[in-house]
Amino acid sequence: MLLTMKLKELNQVLARYPLAQVRFQLPNGDFTPAHSHVTEVARIDKRFIDCGGTLRTESLCRLQTWHADDIDHRLTAGKLAKIFTKAEGVLLTDDLEVDIEYEAGYITQFPLQSIEVTNKEVIFHLTLRHTACLAMDKCLPPTAVPSEFSPLKFNFTETPPATKCC
């Protein structure tokens, strides 16, 4: 199971370093442009039925990032903290996992795995999201029971006991 950061942890870091620039590092090690900023803070609630028929729910905090030709624009940790304060009525709790939406030729979401603080930056380390079957016990065939037979241990010279079967 992938562990990602909760909004509560993120807010604690932002509060400690309000003047630091916020940067986003993609899973491949590349950074989004330094002038990327957060255009939306959303609470995403998902209700779904998995392939085994179980009703499930998930909630998360999604930050949509964007950049334009305004290369002088910089997002500080303090500005982002103020955006979260304004979004409290939408988010309802700070016990949400955080992911970042970014357009890199297509729109994708990256879970926030961790944060690194340097002298001047708060770096959001993003990770990959993967699909998975949530009902493997219902969808996959049962695993085969291993046979006790081992050709390495078989005695080929011994005569098997006679049976009534032909």
DSSP codes joined into one string, 17-42 = -TTSEEEEE-TTS-B--TT-EEEEEE
pLDDT digits (tens, 9 = 90+) for 24-46: 999 999 999 999 999 999 999 99
Global pTM exceeds 0.85: no
Alpha carbon distance 31, 151 (integer Å):
56
Task: Quote the pLDDT of residue 1.
Answer: 47
Per-state percent for the chain, helix, strand, coil, to nearest 5? 15, 35, 50
Closest CA to 17 of 85, 81, 67: 81
Which residue in the block uniquely carries the two structure tokens 């909004």?
7
